A and B are shown apart, each in its own frame.
Chain A
Amino acid sequence: MAKKTKLSREQVLHIAKLANLTLTEKEVKKFQKDLSDILAYIDLLNELDTSKVKPTFQVTGLKNVVREDKEIRGLSQKEALAGTKAKYQGYFKVKAIFE
């Protein structure tokens, strides 16, 4: 039943772009095959009749979990910037982004 159709190169590159990943040629070929595993999963799940079934996005059943509008002290500037060496005068620094 599950036809193992490979995804096209374009499809793989498109997904990689969405995922912000750079792939080598080898990886592109590998993912062409690997992503088709998903298609097999889809086929399997299509056996299930879920036409009258509601999705469960939250198993807890919790509702309206909110916090009060109060200020809580967070990180200092030093702590916020501690994770990187690329900083400048209290800012995170990256190569210029052209908008």
Chain B
Amino acid sequence: MNKNNYLTIIGIEVHLELKTKSKMFCGCCAGHFRVKPNTHTCPVCLGLPGALPVPNRKAIEWCFLIGKALNCNSREDSSFDRKNYFYPDLAKGFQISQFNQPFCREGFLTIKGSTLIRINLDKDKPFPSKKVRINRVHMEEDTAKLLHKIVDGEKVSLIDFNRSGVPLVEIVTEADINSSQEAVEYLKKLQQIIRYLGVSDCDMEKGSMRCEINISLISQQFPISNFKLPNYKVEIKNINSFKFVKRAIEYEITRQKELLKRGESPIQETRGFNENRQKTYSQRSKEEAHDYRYFPEPDIPLIKISNLKSQISNVIPELPEEKKERFIKVYNLSEYNASILVLDIQKADYYEGTVKAGGDPQGTANIIINKRIDINKFTPKQLVKHLQKQKTDKVSDTAKLNEVIDNILKQNQKAAYDFKKGKQEVIGFLIGQVIRETAGKADAQTVKKLLIEKLK
């Protein structure tokens, strides 16, 4: 909670570019990074007269997958809707999106949260876990890319339709986030899950993950459990990294607080983020809400989810939380080690691959986490060999090790005495001494075993 009695209310909208082979409503290649302009187009995504959309099955399945991973409900019937507005990057003069009947809604994502903010707690998880409610997960098509240049002395905008029609999934949260840390945590966790699903590169710098932050402040006069949403909200767009998300939010909180303290209400508007100045700036007034005249897309028949459901339940891969729990159980890892290993699915798979190839679970975890092995340099089999060699190196010197241990015990008689008397934690100190003596070559577990033996 803010010292000056203001509560930050944040809702986040994320757009993900799916990495399907083809676009959302046509067979054009969906890849558009470093491609010559207007070379991946067809009558459909170019909005030529007479063209018609046909939805990409894989994209829809992946949207349901994301919804499932975010604990959403899916309605029986879903439809696409036309969102009508004019802009040069919008080929048809409308975007095919979802308004009334999105594929998924009412889900949630749990984050660690902060002990200081006690709202929206997830009571099923250890405190201070917080539930960020997901309002909807729906599909839409991307717009073209705009470039601003000076050509022949004239200021122009150049349009490339390669990106037009690429499948996007939009994920909208409720206004459940209350700090910049929570916002970044939400985004990072979302990114992790999406990358686990393998449906998007989910990269903020490359634009396959775009976020919009909606932020307002309210003064904390009421009891926190039942506050009214504020009567304005500021939308921040075009933020390209988690670091900038944090900065932008913090800047906004300060800016809005100043205004509110002066008795003014911040204007409802859209703001951009200037990376150089680390400030947000006004872009256009959100005051006049757009009238998009949504109506169901007549060219696309209804999507009945029951026909797709069975295909999806079998496809959802193990998500980070589940994997972490399993690693703890099966490989006897600590909570800490397990969470580090599952941060990245490639790392997690590499770990498991190594263990399955014969590596011991603890040693493998240690070396990956502490020694920061470059997982691209060694295959799991190679790593196993390396680990075994290390072990034999360590074990073959048992005699020498015993010598070292004897020495250490002689030098630390008080500690040895304390341990025998019941001070269990002293063993850690003794182990450390032995390892230092062996210049790190000794294996901690072995040392511990031997010490305990000797101290009996």
Contact = CB atoms under 8 A, between A and B. Distances in A.
Asked whether any CB of A lies within 8 Å of a CB of B in the complex, the reply is yes
Interface of A: 18, 20, 57-58, 60, 62-77, 80-81, 83, 88-97, 99
Contacts of A58: 298, 301-302
A76 B39 contact: yes
Interface residues of B, number: 55
Interface of B: 20-22, 26-29, 36-43, 45-46, 48, 54-60, 79, 84, 86-88, 93, 146-148, 151, 154-161, 283, 291, 293, 296, 298, 300-304, 307-308
A82 B420 CA distance: 89
B198 to A, nearest CB: 14
Say what secondary structure dominates the interface of chain A. Answer: loop
Contact of B38 (A66, A67, A90, A97): A90
Given A74-B27, A91-B38, A80 B301 contact: no
B156 A67 contact: no
A59 to B, nearest CB: 10
Closest A-B pairs by Cβ, 3 of them? A72-B27, A74-B42, A91-B158
B199 to A, nearest CB: 12
B147 A67 contact: no
Given A67-B57, A76-B39, A80-B46, A62 B157 contact: no
Contacts of A96: 148, 154-157
Contacts of A69: 20-22, 56-59
Nearest to B300: A65
A92 B54 contact: no
30 contacts: A18-B291, A18-B293, A58-B301, A60-B301, A64-B304, A65-B54, A65-B301, A66-B60, A66-B303, A67-B57, A68-B58, A69-B21, A69-B58, A70-B27, A71-B28, A72-B22, A74-B28, A74-B41, A74-B42, A77-B36, A88-B156, A89-B37, A90-B160, A91-B38, A91-B160, A94-B156, A94-B157, A96-B154, A96-B155, A96-B157
A67 B300 CA distance: 12
A49 B43 CA distance: 42
Contacts of B41: 74-75, 80
B42 A75 contact: yes
Contact of B147 (A68, A74, A76, A91): A91
Contact of B46 (A70, A73, A75, A89): A75
A57 B296 CA distance: 7
B54 to A, nearest CB: 5
B156 A95 contact: yes
Residue with the greatest number of chain B CB neighbours at <10 A, chosen from A58, A62, A89, A91: A91
Contacts of A67: 27, 54-57
Contacts of A70: 21-22, 27
A88 B283 contact: no
B135 to A, nearest CB: 24
Given A93-B156, A94-B156, A96-B155, A66 B54 contact: yes
Contacts of A81: 38
B305 to A, nearest CB: 9
B151 A94 contact: no
A98 to B, nearest CB: 8
A95 B146 CA distance: 12
Contacts of B22: 69-72
B161 A80 contact: yes
A96 B148 CA distance: 7
A95 B86 contact: no
B269 to A, nearest CB: 14
Nearest to A97: B157
A20 B155 CA distance: 23
B36 A90 contact: yes
Contacts of B301: 58, 60, 62-65
A60 to B, nearest CB: 6
Contacts of A62: 301-302
A66 B57 contact: yes
Contacts of B84: 18
Nearest to B305: A64
Contacts of B43: 74-75
Contacts of A66: 54-57, 60, 303
